[in-house]
Structure 1
Amino acid sequence: MFLFKPSNENKNSYDPSKSKYDMVNDACWKTNEKVPFIALAKTFSAIEDVSGRLKSIEIMSNYISSVMALSHEDLVKSIYLCLNKVAPDYEGIELGIGTSLLMKALSEATGRNMAQLKKQLNDIGDIGSCSEISKTNQRLLVQPKPLTVQHVFDTFKSIATMTGRNVMSNKVEKIKSLITCSQPIESRYIMRALSGKMRIGLGEKSLITAIAQAYMIYKNPDNRKQLDSERFKEKLNKNVSLLQTAFNECPNYDKLIPALLENGFDDLSKSCYLIPGIPLKPMLAHPTKGVREVLQRLEGLEFTCEYKYDGERAQIHLDNQGKIYIYSRNQENNTGKYPDIVKLMPDVMKSDVKSFIIDCEAVAYDVVNKQILPFQVLSTRKRKNVEESDIKVHICLFAFDLIYFNDESLVKKSLYERRQLLQENFEFIEGQFMRASSKDLNDIDVIQEFLDESIKNKCEGLMVKTLHKDASYEIAKRSFKWLKLKKDYLEGTGDTLDLIPIGAYYGRGKRTGVYGGFLLACYDDKNDEFQSICKIGTGFSDEDLATLSTSLKDLSISKPKSYYNVDETLKADVWFEANQVWEIKCADLSISPVYKAAIGIIDPQKGISLRFPRFIKVRDDKKPEDGTTAAQVAEMYLNQENQMNSANNEDDNNNDEQNESNSKSKTDEFY
């Protein structure tokens, strides 16, 4: 712990973006003092004002290093506030207060007329900026006690978990208290956070990098002078990987941050490890365009082919106290959604089973005809607090991996070993708990037959996975050890995309009265922004358009958000909050001077767009931040280009052979 006293400069002059920042002397608070919230607010503002991921990471690492050096007990709360969270995702505690409630609190705290506030919000489109303006113009007779990070976090958590009588009025009172005590810049981020839309331009991956960089400087202040050196960058990348791996296995900052401060990077695994009850981010597969590509990618490796089920990822946990948990692919706690699965699990475990984590697909199932039902049927099932007596959609679990078993993590074991343990320790019941249908194949014709069989059995296609070599379970990674081969992939792009509607265009003709087209975006997790990728107007039934138009009207805003990267020529009739996720299919991807998806990755000035996109379905199981990322869009474009180049080379070879044959024929004819 550093015990030097920081300078006594005014808190309002705090500047985390200054060059040669000193974590002790440039902080605006002293050792063992509570971190003032103004320091975090000014950090957010500085990040908003700069462009470039590296500079944003440096600014955040400056603030974090000061917290580590002076008031480390406030570090976890600072991290959660940076992420606009008050708890780990799997606890399901979310901020997100309705606009009307926030406006009421703002009006009462600042004495402004509600009609004026509504007009201003409509003009500006950002409730945080409205609050900042209101506070700037407000004069107080008595200066309130300055806000601290701890107080703001604790109040946020109290608001998020509040229940009982008069809950709305109690929330308004707590929000009013925060606004009254806040300085203008603080009120901007308080209101944004409470609305659930912080959007400072720093995603979680960048934040983890900032934490790693801050810790390296905290332990050795001389590292600040080495930020641009290759040696420091190499060491930072290694430490970020260690920190990210620990977080993937134990996605809980309440555990991760104290473990880092106590043990450093190399010993994080002593405190942060896989354990039932805490969900891990699942392993994901790469898309492929056909059986030939599968064989090329997995050449020389033994692999298995499994049915790819059209359902919802379900991660089933049993802890040592005998409690069952069920988590979605984005770590949402779905235990209350599946009381029938909770009741079923004791019947499928053999007597020696004490704890486990099983990776499954939950699929709607027709028990009479013994067949899989479409995802749309599953999506009609109530999402929370389901009573078993009210269940109308029957679920069958298709288990395909065992990640943890009897106090041992299995992620380093091969898929063959994990599958054997699954087979040996669980009972499988038809129509309730079944193994994913699989075959260990290596012949192109037989794989094609199995693919056709999977589609005939109402599945999306196949998952192809390595069995022995290079067959570990890679948490939170999209790995080439697993390949997707869907029926839709056999033409057009290699994968569907999960995109976010951010705008719409009024329908004409038979589409009058509903939205006729939409502007879609992908999510850039590095810059924490939504980048336009295409307009879409096909694939919708009349019922789809009516339903989507109704649901999106509640999300309408007066103008695009500051974190929407959209060309000025793409003027939507209506703009939306980023809220829904749609699965989209397209013919191919192309470089575009208008759309901004993956801008700067493939081309420095141009983005990537979709050609002939069509709507598939709404992804209720995903949040906007779980949508297809800019990096994935760029990867899909490069894969497409590689496929085209390979095809062109093959065509050139065929043409050469044909020309040689023709030439030989003419020579023979001449003689």
Structure 2
Amino acid sequence: MKFKELAKYIEEIEKTSSRNTITELLSSLFKKLSENEIRETIFLLQGRLVPLYESKEFGMAEKLIVNSAVTAFDIEKNKFILELKKIGDIGTAVEYFKNKIVLREQDLSISEVFEKLTILADAEGKGSQEIKINVLADLISKLDPLSTRYLVRIPIGTMRLGFSDMTILDALSWMMRGDKSLRPILQHSYHVKPNLGLIATILKRKNGIDKLKEIEPEVFTPIIMMRAERMSSGDEIIKKIGVCAVEPKYDGFRLQIHKKGNEVKMYSRNLDDVSHMYPDIIEGIIKQIKETSIIIEGEAIGYSPKTGEYLSFQDTVQRKRKYDIETMKMAVPLRLFLFDLLYLGRKSYINQEFKKRRDQLEKLVKISGNQKIDTILLAPQTIENSGSSIEKRFDEAVSKNLEGIIAKKIDGIYKPGAREWNWIKFKKSYSSKIIDTIDCLIMGYDFGKGKRTGFGIGAFLVGVYDKKNDSYVTVAKIGTGLTDEEWKELKKRSENKKTLKKPIIYKTNDQIDSDIWIKPSIVVEIKSDEITNSPLHSAGLALRFPRLERFRDDKSPDDVTSFEEVKKLYLSQLIK
């Protein structure tokens, strides 16, 4: 397929606010593509060249895009910048000049454009900026005006078409069956191997659906992490899952560790490769685990080198950085508490019951018993058969400044990406009616007034995930309770996440709006006094006196609290 035709599809997608229409457009597009083209196209629609968990950055800011455009059109830079300021969008500005300036165009294919963008992204070191500018300038000169609008948005991550990975899965189902009936199979495959390009390619092949049903974990391809439901008493937990394994809930950051030989990679909840940030964990894995091919999970938490006491999340999260890693490694050393085994040798363990996974995990880790030596430990575990004994374990965890406990169904399997009752977290807040905090997605913000005019932001809109309708619904607009530094940080984080229109996956009532919409990306932990009914918010519920606890860089939009969870919290208030 020619890139020109893809651009026409993108334009139609950009025009519509209907999720069903977008699904149909994508399905129509996918039907026309070959195995290779569908992989490339899906990545380009997401503004990438590789899956999310692989590192391949374009290394271009808007300034370099401007330089590429000026080179392609052979015009004065000031002339282009003046028009860009009037238009407000780099893609539309490039399209404007392409319509005015006649250049010799070539009808490039999707694969040809993809190959050139790969060359651009691969350029590193001395002279790389000039290579990037020239490669993009060459593409601008060869493509038609509409194509250039979307071409230049790709390297700077501003495609922002407003649909989620789940919409792509629905479109693939429509491509094959004319309905969404394949969504469960496709979603499970995606949760085991979160590579939409790969899934679409397999689906295009003979017996593709059967092959996706058999998809297995693979070392160095992160599995989307399983999540826990929540309850507020030991009795509730016993009633739900019976005799269970109980482990402390550490307030650190969850890691999925992949090891093959002496090569180790670590991934966060949102699939980022964070291996370079935690060299001490990698050293511990190589030293204490001799198996050559494994995927395991654990929680990393900082501790004081002087007292041995575990640190708060705010202290631990200092380790998440790109620079001064060795200095912080000494100041905030980490311990990793392993709690699950997903893959060993050539065998997947995700469909094995928890007890078998845990038993095998215990055999893998060499622990000396000297905490001054061991970086890798097993999460302590007890088997409990009563609500009172679970409450006792909870009290012990809280007394050690831990978050609470996790109860695990002994015969429960590991369900990638799912939030089910195989795991139940038990946390409490003693200062408010609400049990636990709520992880919310920042959906948009309003401009600041008065003192906050200088911040450029005065209130932000947050929502939770409505799984049934595959949408985010609003629960609060927060305009107080943040320090000046937090307002500035929020504005900084939002700057390159702005989108031209409200994402179609956001559901809002007419009374609730935002001056600026943010694409699904920023997760925050919110505390409030209680949950109330609300005709203003699309959830039908609202957080009363909401306040920001912390940014959750370790969580993706898929990890935010569900609408069902919020509803359960609301109902639990009524019976207290």
The two structures have a TM-score, normalised by structure 2, of 0.87
Which of these residues, 413, 416, 424, is aligned with residue 352 of structure 2? 413
Matched, 1:103 2:66: yes
Query: Which one is further off, 546-555 or 370-379?
Result: 546-555
The 8 Å contact of residues 465 and 563 in structure 2, kept in 1 or not, is answered as no
In structure 1, distance between residues paired with 2:513 and 2:163:
26
1:327 Cα deviation (Å)?
1.2
The 8 Å contact of residues 125 and 558 in structure 1, kept in 2 or not, is answered as no
1:567 Cα deviation (Å)?
7.0
- Per the alignment, residue 614 of structure 1 pairs with 547
In structure 1, distance between residues paired with 2:124 and 2:541:
46
In structure 1, distance between residues paired with 2:112 and 2:209:
30
The 8 Å contact of residues 503 and 519 in structure 1, kept in 2 or not, is answered as yes
Tell me which amino acid in the other structure corresponds to 1:546: E
Matched, 1:496 2:448: no
Which of these residues, 268, 273, 276, is aligned with residue 216 of structure 2? 273
> Structure 1 pair 533/627, CA: closer, same or farther in 2 (3 Å)?
farther
Matched, 1:63 2:63: no
1:495 Cα deviation (Å)?
4.2
- Per the alignment, residue 193 of structure 2 pairs with 250
The 8 Å contact of residues 336 and 386 in structure 1, kept in 2 or not, is answered as no
- Per the alignment, residue 264 of structure 1 pairs with 208
Q: How does 1:313-462 map to 2 (within 5 A)?
A: 313-319=254-260, 321-349=261-289, 353-381=291-319, 383-384=321-322, 388=326, 391-392=329-330, 393-428=332-367, 429=369, 430=371, 432-462=375-405
The 8 Å contact of residues 536 and 614 in structure 1, kept in 2 or not, is answered as yes
In structure 2, distance between residues paired with 1:307 and 1:507:
44
Matched, 1:306 2:306: no
Listed one character per residue, the Cα deviations across residues 629-662 of structure 1 (whole Å, up to 9, x for unaligned) are xxx54323432354356x29xxxxxxxxxxxxxx
Q: How does 1:655-670 map to 2 (within 5 A)?
A: none
Matched, 1:587 2:526: no
Q: How does 1:36-51 map to 2 (within 5 A)?
A: 36-51=2-17
- SS of the aligned residue for 2:384 comes to coil
Listed one character per residue, the Cα deviations across residues 437-463 of structure 1 (whole Å, up to 9, x for unaligned) are 232223222222221211221211111
Listed one character per residue, the Cα deviations across residues 448-489 of structure 1 (whole Å, up to 9, x for unaligned) are 222121122121111111012xx0000111112111212239
The 8 Å contact of residues 350 and 414 in structure 2, kept in 1 or not, is answered as yes
1:612 Cα deviation (Å)?
1.4
> Structure 1 pair 456/537, CA: closer, same or farther in 2 (3 Å)?
farther
1:262 Cα deviation (Å)?
3.6
- SS of the aligned residue for 1:360 comes to strand
> Structure 1 pair 437/116, CA: closer, same or farther in 2 (3 Å)?
farther
> Aligned residues, how many?
565
In structure 1, distance between residues paired with 2:454 and 2:28:
52
The 8 Å contact of residues 334 and 384 in structure 1, kept in 2 or not, is answered as no
- Per the alignment, residue 172 of structure 2 pairs with 211
1:326 Cα deviation (Å)?
1.2
Larger radius of gyration: 1
Q: How does 1:520-669 map to 2 (within 5 A)?
A: 520-522=461-463, 533-540=475-482, 542=483, 545-546=484-485, 548-549=487-488, 552-553=491-492, 555-556=494-495, 561-563=500-502, 580-590=522-532, 592-595=534-537, 599=538, 608-622=541-555, 625-626=557-558, 628=560, 632-643=561-572, 647=575
The 8 Å contact of residues 552 and 576 in structure 1, kept in 2 or not, is answered as no
Listed one character per residue, the Cα deviations across residues 513-541 of structure 1 (whole Å, up to 9, x for unaligned) are 6578421334779999976543324443x
> Structure 1 pair 330/575, CA: closer, same or farther in 2 (3 Å)?
closer
Give the CA RMSD over aligned residues.
Answer: 3.3
In structure 1, distance between residues paired with 2:499 and 2:221:
37
In structure 2, distance between residues paired with 1:557 and 1:476:
27
- SS of the aligned residue for 1:372 comes to coil
> Structure 1 pair 386/93, CA: closer, same or farther in 2 (3 Å)?
farther
> Structure 1 pair 199/516, CA: closer, same or farther in 2 (3 Å)?
closer
- SS of the aligned residue for 1:205 comes to helix
> Structure 1 pair 494/62, CA: closer, same or farther in 2 (3 Å)?
same
> Structure 1 pair 577/116, CA: closer, same or farther in 2 (3 Å)?
farther
Tell me which amino acid in the other structure corresponds to 2:255: A
The 8 Å contact of residues 288 and 485 in structure 1, kept in 2 or not, is answered as yes
Q: How does 1:146-161 map to 2 (within 5 A)?
A: 146-161=107-122
1:122 Cα deviation (Å)?
4.7
Tell me which amino acid in the other structure corresponds to 1:360: G
Matched, 1:481 2:425: no
Q: How does 1:51-130 map to 2 (within 5 A)?
A: 51-67=17-33, 71-95=34-58, 97-110=60-73, 114-115=77-78, 117-118=80-81, 121-122=84-85, 124-130=87-93
Name the % identity. Answer: 27
Query: Relative CO higher for 1 or 2, CA cutoff 8 Å, sep ≥ 6?
Result: 2
> Structure 1 pair 382/313, CA: closer, same or farther in 2 (3 Å)?
closer
The 8 Å contact of residues 306 and 437 in structure 1, kept in 2 or not, is answered as yes
Structure 1 residues not aligned, in runs of 5+: 1-34, 217-226, 228-232, 649-671
Tell me which amino acid in the other structure corresponds to 1:40: L
Tell me which amino acid in the other structure corresponds to 1:503: Y
1:368 Cα deviation (Å)?
3.1
1:268 Cα deviation (Å)?
2.6
Which of these residues, 155, 165, 170, is aligned with residue 126 of structure 2? 165
Tell me which amino acid in the other structure corresponds to 1:418: R
Tell me which amino acid in the other structure corresponds to 2:286: P
The two structures have a TM-score, normalised by structure 1, of 0.76
The 8 Å contact of residues 365 and 371 in structure 1, kept in 2 or not, is answered as yes
- SS of the aligned residue for 1:366 comes to coil
The 8 Å contact of residues 608 and 634 in structure 1, kept in 2 or not, is answered as no
> Structure 1 pair 190/85, CA: closer, same or farther in 2 (3 Å)?
same
> Structure 1 pair 512/456, CA: closer, same or farther in 2 (3 Å)?
farther
The 8 Å contact of residues 444 and 460 in structure 2, kept in 1 or not, is answered as yes
The 8 Å contact of residues 302 and 466 in structure 1, kept in 2 or not, is answered as yes
The 8 Å contact of residues 232 and 428 in structure 2, kept in 1 or not, is answered as no
Query: Which one is further off, 279-288 or 156-165?
Result: 156-165
Listed one character per residue, the Cα deviations across residues 173-222 of structure 1 (whole Å, up to 9, x for unaligned) are 22222222222221222122222121223211110121232134xxxxxx
